[in-house]
Structure formats: C-alpha cells, structure tokens
Structure 1
Amino acid sequence: MKKQILLATSLMLSIGTTNLMAADLGKGSLAFDKQDYATALEELKPLAKEGDPDALNMLGQMYENGWGVDKDESKARRYYKRGASQGHMANVNSLRALKDKEYKVELKTVQPAAESGDAQAQNRLGEMAEFGYGMSRNADMAIEWYLKSADQGYVAAQHNIGRCYNFGTGVEQNFEEAERWYRKAANQGHTDAMFFLGTLYSNNHGSQKDQDTNILAYAWMHNAAELGNKTAQAIEKRLVMKLNPSELEEAKALAAEYRKTYIAE
C-alpha cells in the first residue's frame, strides 16, 4: 500500500514537472516580442500559475492592452500585483503605470467637480496632488484643496490637513495644528484621525499637557481599534503595558467620553 501511495505521489510530481518543463519562458518571451500572442499565452500561462514574475508581467501586459486576449485591466492588475509582491521591478513599474493611467481618467472628472465647488472632489483632488495620482506631486496644491473642502465641513479633508501638519506636507510641521485638525475629524468618528491622534500623543506631541499623553493616546487608539483599525488594536495592547491600573481606568473612562462625542455627531 505504501509503495502504491509513493508511486502515485511520484507520478503526480512528475506530471507537474513535465508541464512546467513543457512551458518555456524563452519561447514565450520570443513569441511575445514577435506579437505571436497565441503561442505566448500557451507558454506563459503555466509559468504564471507557478508565480514566475516575468511570465506574470507579460501576461499582465497582454490583458491590459488586449493583445491576443480580451482586454481585462482587472486581470492585468492581479498579474502585476503577484509579480510586484515578489519585488520584481518590471511588475512594480507596470502596476504603477496602470494605476497612473486609471488616475488620469479619474482626474478628468474630479478636477472639474472640485473647481465647481464639490467638497468630496476637492478632497480627492488634494489627495491626487499630494500623492502624485495622475499628476506630478504638488504638496502646495494639495493643502489648498484640502482647506477648500474642509471649509465646507468635509471630515476626510479635516483629517488630511491634520496629517499635513503632522508630517510637514505643504505646510510647516506643527503638532498642535495637527492635533486640532485631527480632533475635528476624530470627534465626528473618523477612524484614521483617531489613530493618528493616538500616535501623536504616544509620541508626546500636542497641546494636552494636563494629562498623561499615554492616557490620551490609549483613549483615542482604543476607539480606533473598536472601529476596526487593526494597527490600532496592536498599539493599544502596547499602551496598556505603559499604564498602571489607575491610569488604565482613567484612560478607559476617557475613551468612553470621547465615544459619546463622536456618536452624538
């Protein structure tokens, strides 16, 4: 019986190896370069299934551009991501270029909407300028659009302004201003603002000097964790170790007080 199992296992491994040997990256690459996409598809698919990054990149290009296959940018993105996760620079660059193409399409609708006064579009245009989505990075332009959006009460923009002051993006770094804007967003239930406010206090920044910053950090980090932020959940556990029992009770009470504020909003 054992011999039969070993024989079957060996046969399966042999079949798998034979399939991979039959698929030839060199032949696939040559076919790809010659635009013989039927042959390229046949050679590259088994290799891509096994995670070969060159095969993943070429297949991604085929699906992105509709070369020998139906155009499918979602499938192209999945191929590029698998290759990029291995640190393969051709896939990283292909994924970046695909995203940039998508961002440029998005920009054509976002920019006019922002200019016409739409707060959500103004915030999105700020993000696109800050991170270089579909355009060159422009921190000054980013903060300008965030402020216009925040003036209309858009919560995500208030958080983004807080982050800009926190890291000195488009403005001079100012932790008290970061704290002020983060609190605006956090008091309205913005999870990321709660998380960043917690990190601000855990690094002993901000204007709240009347309380232990670890207590403040825990209070906001706890609320971010409760709302599902996984990183906040891990940091909350570390903050507990910094607090004695009475401080922890104070921190929990403060977290509950903050929670009432953003639930009321």
Structure 2
Amino acid sequence: MHLQRTIFTAILLLFFSSSLAQNATGDIVKNAELGDPEAQYVLGKMYLKGDGMKANASEALDWFLKSAKQGYAAAQNRVGMIYYDGAAEIPKDRAGAFPWFEKAAQQGHRVAQFYYGYQLFSGEVVLENRDLGLEWMLKAAANNCRRAKIRLARIYDNGEGLEVDKEKAFYWYTEAAKHNITVAQIALGRMYSNGEGVEKDINKAIEWYTHAVDQNKRTKYRAMKGLIDVYTKLGNEDKVAYWQARLKEK
C-alpha cells in the first residue's frame, strides 16, 4: 500500500512539474511575441538547446535577433557567437559576428568584449588594431572572462602578435587555471618544470600536472606525458613506469 502511494505521488509530481513547465514555456512564448527582449532571448536559448521544444538553430537566431535589435546585450553576444562559430544549418560568418560583439562589448558583456577584442587584435575580418584589441581583451579578463585569460596566456607564451613574455604568460595561465581550464594547468606544469616565467619548482609542476590528469579526458594524456617528463628528469623510474602504464590505459 505504501509503495502504491509512493508511486502515485511520484506520478502526481511528474504531472505537475510537466504542467508547470508547459505553463512557463507558454508564458515565455507569449511575452516574446509581445516584444519582451528578455523573453525573446530566453526563447532563443530554448530553441538553440532544444529545451522544451525541438531544437531549431534558425528559429533561435530569429529570436536572438529580435532581442538583440532592442539592445539586449546577452542576445547581441549570442547572435555574434552563432555567426562566429556557425550552428546547425547556419554557416560561419565572422564578419557578420563583429558588429554584434561590438554592441554587446560596449554594454560590458565580458564574452563579447573578448571576441570583439580578439577580432580587432587578429585582424581576421576587420582592419588589425592590436593595441585596441589587447585593451578589450584585458577588459574582458578583468571582467573574469575565462576565454580572455587563456587567450592572453597563449599570446604571451607563443608570441602571437606580441613579443614573447613568459612572466605575463605565467600570470594569465594562473588566472585561467582558477577556472579549471586544463590546458592552463598543463601549461603551469610545464612552466614550473622548466622555470619559464617563474622560478623552477618541480613539486609545483607535479602538483599541476597531477591535478590536470583527472580534470578532462581529452587533455589528460598531455598531463601524463608531462609527469613522465618530470619524473624522468628526477630519475624516478617507478613513477615513470606508473605513468607510462596509465598512459596506455583506454
């Protein structure tokens, strides 16, 4: 009897949660159709992700554009992202992305600030302006944009358009690592191991490489190779053998 009541309660909760979700969706659609920019933005995200309705990138873009044209910064950035990366049947249009990133950046949207800055810095689709581009990327980083932090680290690490500056690279990798970006953690392992931009510290190198191993399946092998390199330099054959065995695991 208790089990039957439990099942019945679960069914009721499922029904009401489903009913509430449908009502909420209906309200969003209604408000979007009435011209509310925030509702239009939310509806665009729902279409983009297939949340509560069938995913449709073109429909999503239409709603984002309606919102963006009313000055809604999040929607302006989203339009820029769709054009920048492409989505489903929508091809990339990085030149088309630029003005939307600019509009959102001017309103303080941190992701848009980064992309606007990076497009200026790289001269990908507009006249190159490295000083202004760097200024905007730094604004985005100060606004806690993880994309800006990792890009700045790579720019200074590899000399992409600027002189190599390992100390600045180390600083930005450290900032990016706070967001659990594994490529930043691996870079810190390498920099501590080699004494690049920071005093050499093998224990710190091991710490960052080990932390990166369990963070991301796609990059863990690079972290393991870093550990093998460190322990090889230390002459620790047992640790080398351990990480070589881990490296072979699927």
User: TM-score, with normalisation over the residues of structure 1?
Assistant: 0.47
Indicate the structure whose relative CO is greater, using CA pairs within 8 Å and at least 6 residues apart: 1
User: TM-score, with normalisation over the residues of structure 2?
Assistant: 0.49
Of structures 1 and 2, the larger Rg is shown by 1
